[in-house]
Structures are given as structure tokens and as C-alpha cells.
């Protein structure tokens, strides 16, 4: 018998090629704390262990069948090419047949097998995860979150009670599974979670009321995403507990960002977050950013602890303990040790502001908010014609909106980069006042280039049609005629990025900012 009580003969039987209805090149068994997965070359078969951990219950055959069907339904949303069907296992544990004749005694999820080295976790470990992969993932996740079912105020999932219960359950399950020298850190994190709930209660309630609790993937980390035919394909969504997938979309984003950061890839995490936020506009969710990153780190620590408990072999146990420690240390590191910073980009269209802003955001782990994107979002909301995008009234509304989005993020302790021209002194003053009110440090990064270079960039940008900016040569000429130098009293906050000397490198700009 296995530790879970399932007969060994079934596992042995499914290691034989004759158990399958198709040619088998080789058979490999992968075991997790809740399932067995048999890889046969062309197809993979996932069988649920008859276990009951409280947060999941596969203890009966009826439950395992039901959750196999649910797993296929949920995962076809993001990976229809992978999830094929729920199939019966017939015969007997000693002589099982996948999709055979006769009464079924077990069920499996049938999937199309993909290469083991296609997982984004492996790409990250071997430094093969690219910015293009991250950009595609941000786009995919944003579109997925916009398309999935939304909760209502009357639905039970996503309530403050649910959120608190899921968070504290992590600590209880870790303590039950693993005695560790990290008990002090775990106790501190549990106390911090309790304090966060008292502070963020209204935010949680408003997020649910405003429709941000949706039927998400639920377990979206790098080991659950494969690169198939050049595109990221998430798989293994949570089917066993609806409360764990009916969650705030920002919690799902935090899971991926946390995983990247814990693996030593904070620049890719920042790129993912800013790509996602630019598409969705959900900057308000960043108020919960530290809370959900800590929560997600403790989910992974819990999985490491539960897997450690049932694993065999010193090497495997030591690796799991290393994972456990990494996630606990990461969660403990998220308390801000310095004030946030507000960075204003300054310069006419085509001066390179957005390019340097994106690089700064990735290096500083800052939230980047673009006026070009928000201007269009406002225009779409208010049915404003494209010809009116750069009229003074909409420009004023756009700058006001930038500050409205940035202020709660700064108050939550996160740095913000506002990517706009900021040619008018009144808009810079309003942003400086906001920085002072939130306790944020303040910097202006002023970019420039020769007029002929600016014009070339505008024409090239308009030709590709890939940039959100609609500024054309007429807009540029108007900016060049009307711009005024920064005030003498602003110079203490300015970092120049211009044509008078060789442009500083990114490291030079960051040193100057700090």
C-alpha cells in the first residue's frame, strides 16, 4: 500500500505499455502530494490520489470523477490544446486499461504531453525566460481576467472571511506538517496578516463589490505554465476548491510576480506587472500588493511542507526544505525599509521618456503609469473622438487621473513612475505636492533629443502603429514652441537625460535618482 492507502498494483500496472490504448514510447511517473501523472510520450494521464487535506477532498471515486471533469472544464479556458478529456480506467488495479471496456474503478484526466523542459520554471532556472515571453504572458493574463465570470456581492466566494481563512490556513497547515526553525518568522508573518486584515477590510470588501473577484486559474506560478509553439500556456488550474480560484484578480497576478521575484527575477516581475496593469488599468489593486505576495509565498511554502512530509530520499527532502525556506524568507522581506519614490518623466514626444521609464520601472520595481494609455482609456470611457485627444481639457483630466492612480500606490509603499510630458509647471507642482503628502521621495527625469531626431522618432512610431501614443508632428511642433525650462527651484530634483552630453546609462540614472 502507498502512504495514501491506494494499492501499489495500480501504479505498477500503469507502468506497462499494454495499459494504454495507443502506442507508448516510454512511461514515466511523476508524483505530487495530490496526484500521480503518467507520461507516455504522446499523452499524459493524471490520476487524483484518494486523499483529504481539508482544503481538498478526493477520498471517494465519485469525487475523483467529478473533479476530473471540472479540471478539464476549467483548464480548457487557457489550454484547450492540452486538456483532452476525462477517461475511465477499467479492468483491475493489477491489469488496468485506460479507456477500456467494463466497469470503471478509477478516472484520469487525459492531456496532450508537452516537453518537460517547456515549463517556464525551467526556462527561468536556465535563464532562457525572455522579455517577449513575459509580455505575451501579461497580455494573456489580462485578456483572461477580462473574459472570465465575475462574482457578485451576494456570492459567498471572495468575502473578507474567505480571504482571511485562506491566509491563516496556510500557517496552520505548515505547522501541522513541518516542525522548523522558522517558527518565529511564521508567527511574525501570521501576526502581520492579522494586522493587514484589520487595515484592509474595507479594501477587500470594495474589491469584491466592484467585480474583481472572478473565477481565476487559482494556482498560476511558473511551474504551471508551459511554452508551447512559442506561446505561454497555463495549465493545472485549481478544480478541487472553488474558494481558491474565485479570487481577486490581483491575487493571481501577485502569484506570478512573487514566483519571479523569489527566483531572483525582479525585473521580469516588474515588466509582467506593468504590462498587465497597462492593459487592465487595475492600479487600485496595488494597495493589496504586499498582502497578496506574502499570501502567495506562504501557499508555495505550504506546498513544499506538505510534499516534504510525503517525500522519500534525503536529496528530495533537502530540496523541498530549500524551497520552503526561500518562500518564507521572501515573505518576510516584503516590509518596506525605505520610503517610496515618485518619478516624473519630463520631455516632449519622441524624447525617449517611455523607453527609459520602462527600464527604470524594471530596475526600481516601480509601477509605471503612462499618460498615453490613460488618455485613451478616458477617451473611450467618455466617448471622446480621437481628434480631441490632445485638447487642453482632456490633457488636464489625464494629469488629474495620473495622480489619482498614483496616490494610493504611494501610500501603500510602492514607487511610481509617471510617464508623461509634464511640460506644464502646474502639473509638476501637483505631482510634487502629492509626493510630499504621501511621504514619497521625488525625482524628475528630464529627457531630450535634437529636433531632427525627435521628428524621425515620431514618424517611425506612427509608421509602425504599435505605440499607444497618438502624438504626431503637429503635436511635437506645438510642444517644441510652447515648452519652458524647468524652474530653478526644481533643479534639485532633476536628473538629465539629454543631448548636451553622452546620455547616461541606466545605472548612472539610478545612482543619480538615489
- Give tens-digit pLDDT for 317-361: 888 889 999 999 999 999 766 899 999 999 998 888 998 999 999
Nearest-angstrom CA–CA distance, 43 and 59: 26
pLDDT in tens, 96-118: 999 999 999 999 999 999 998 99
Residue 413 gets the label, from left (phi > 0), alpha (psi -120 to 50) or beta, of left
Range in 147-151, 217-221, 427-431 with the lowest mean pLDDT: 147-151
- The DSSP string of 356-404 is HHHHHHHHHT-EEEEHHHHHHHHHHHTT--GGGTTSHHHHHHHHHHHHH
Average pLDDT estimate for 72-89? 98
- 10 Å Cβ neighbour count for 134? 24
Closest CA to 78 of 193, 298, 287, 225: 225
Using alpha carbons, list the distances in angstroms from residue 192 to 117, 164, 197: 38, 12, 9
Q: What is the pLDDT of residue 504?
A: 59
Q: Is residue 5 scored above 50 in pLDDT?
A: no
pLDDT of amino acid 503: 52
Domains and CATH numbers, the chain: 8-113 (no CATH), 120-332 (3.90.1200.10), 341-513 (3.40.50.300)
- Asked whether the predicted pLDDT for residue 153 surpasses 80, the reply is no
Q: Residue 39: which residues within 8 A CB-CB, separation 6 or more?
A: 26, 27, 28, 29, 30, 113
Pairing of strands 441-447, 341-346: parallel
Strands 441-447 and 494-497: parallel
Amino acid at each position: 500500500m502507498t502512504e495514501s492507502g491506494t494499492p501499489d498494483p495500480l501504479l505498477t500496472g500503469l507502468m506497462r505499455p499494454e495499459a494504454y490504448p495507443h502506442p507508448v514510447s516510454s512511461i514515466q511517473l511523476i508524483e505530487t502530494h495530490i496526484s500521480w501523472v503518467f507520461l507516455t510520450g504522446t499523452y499524459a494521464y493524471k490520476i487524483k490520489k484518494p486523499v483529504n487535506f481539508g482544503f481538498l477532498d478526493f477520498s471517494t471515486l465519485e469525487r475523483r470523477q467529478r473533479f476530473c471533469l471540472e479540471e478539464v472544464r476549467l483548464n480548457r479556458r487557457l489550454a484547450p490544446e492540452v486538456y483532452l478529456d476525462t477517461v475511465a480506467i477499467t479492468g483491475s488495479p493489477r491489469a488496468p486499461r485506460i479507456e477500456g471496456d467494463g466497469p470503471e474503478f478509477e478516472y484520469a484526466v487525459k492531456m496532450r504531453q508537452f516537453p518537460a523542459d517547456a515549463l517556464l520554471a525551467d526556462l527561468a532556472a536556465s535563464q532562457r525566460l525572455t522579455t517577449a515571453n513575459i509580455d505575451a504572458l501579461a497580455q494573456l493574463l489580462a485578456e483572461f481576467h477580462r473574459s472570465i465570470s465575475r462574482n457578485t456581492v451576494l456570492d459567498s466566494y471572495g468575502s473578507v472571511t474567505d480571504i482571511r481563512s485562506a491566509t491563516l490556513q496556510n500557517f496552520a497547515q505548515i505547522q501541522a506538517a513541518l516542525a522548523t526553525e522558522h517558527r518565529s518568522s511564521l508567527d511574525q508573518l501570521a501576526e502581520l496578516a492579522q494586522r493587514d486584515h484589520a487595515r484592509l477590510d474595507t479594501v477587500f470588501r470594495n474589491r469584491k463589490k466592484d467585480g474583481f473577484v472572478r473565477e481565476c486559474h487559482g494556482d498560476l506560478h511558473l511551474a504551471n505554465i508551459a511554452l508551447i509553439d512559442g506561446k505561454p500556456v497555463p495549465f493545472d488550474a485549481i478544480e478541487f476548491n472553488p474558494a481558491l480560484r474565485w479570487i481577486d484578480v490581483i491575487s493571481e497576478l501577485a502569484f506570478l510576480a512573487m514566483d519571479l521575484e523569489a527566483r531572483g527575477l525582479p525585473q521580469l516581475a516588474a515588466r509582467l506587472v506593468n504590462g498587465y496593469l497597462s492593459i487592465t488599468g487595475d492600479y487600485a489593486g496595488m494597495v493589496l500588493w504586499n498582502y497578496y505576495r506574502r499570501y502567495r509565498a506562504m501557499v508555495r511554502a505550504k506546498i513544499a511542507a506538505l510534499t516534504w512530509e510525503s517525500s522519500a530520499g534525503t536529496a528530495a527532502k533537502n530540496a523541498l526544505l530549500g524551497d520552503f525556506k526561500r518562500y518564507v524568507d521572501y515573505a518576510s522581506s516584503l516590509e518596506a525599509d525605505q520610503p517610496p519614490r515618485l518619478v516624473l518623466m519630463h520631455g516632449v514626444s519622441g524624447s525617449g521618456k517611455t523607453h527609459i521609464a520602462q527600464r527604470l520601472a524594471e530596475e526600481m520595481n516601480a509601477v509605471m503609469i503612462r499618460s498615453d494609455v490613460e488618455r485613451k482609456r478616458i477617451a473611450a470611457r467618455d466617448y471622446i473622438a480621437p481628434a480631441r485627444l490632445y485638447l487642453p481639457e482632456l490633457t488636464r483630466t489625464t494629469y488629474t487621473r495620473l495622480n489619482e492612480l498614483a496616490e494610493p500606490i504611494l501610500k501603500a509603499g510602492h514607487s511610481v513612475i509617471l510617464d508623461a510630458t509634464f511640460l506644464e509647471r502646474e502639473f509638476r507642482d501637483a505631482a510634487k505636492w502629492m509626493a510630499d503628502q504621501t511621504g514619497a521621495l521625488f525625482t524628475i527625469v528630464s529627457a531630450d533629443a535634437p529636433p531632427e531626431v525627435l521628428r524621425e522618432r515620431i514618424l517611425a512610431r506612427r509608421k509602425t502603429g504599435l505605440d499607444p501614443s497618438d502624438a504626431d508632428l503637429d503635436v511635437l511642433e506645438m510642444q517644441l514652441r510652447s515648452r519652458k525650462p524647468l524652474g530653478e527651484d526644481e533643479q534639485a530634483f532633476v536628473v538629465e537625460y539629454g543631448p548636451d552630453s553622452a546620455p547616461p546609462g541606466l545605472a548612472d540614472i539610478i545612482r543619480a535618482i538615489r
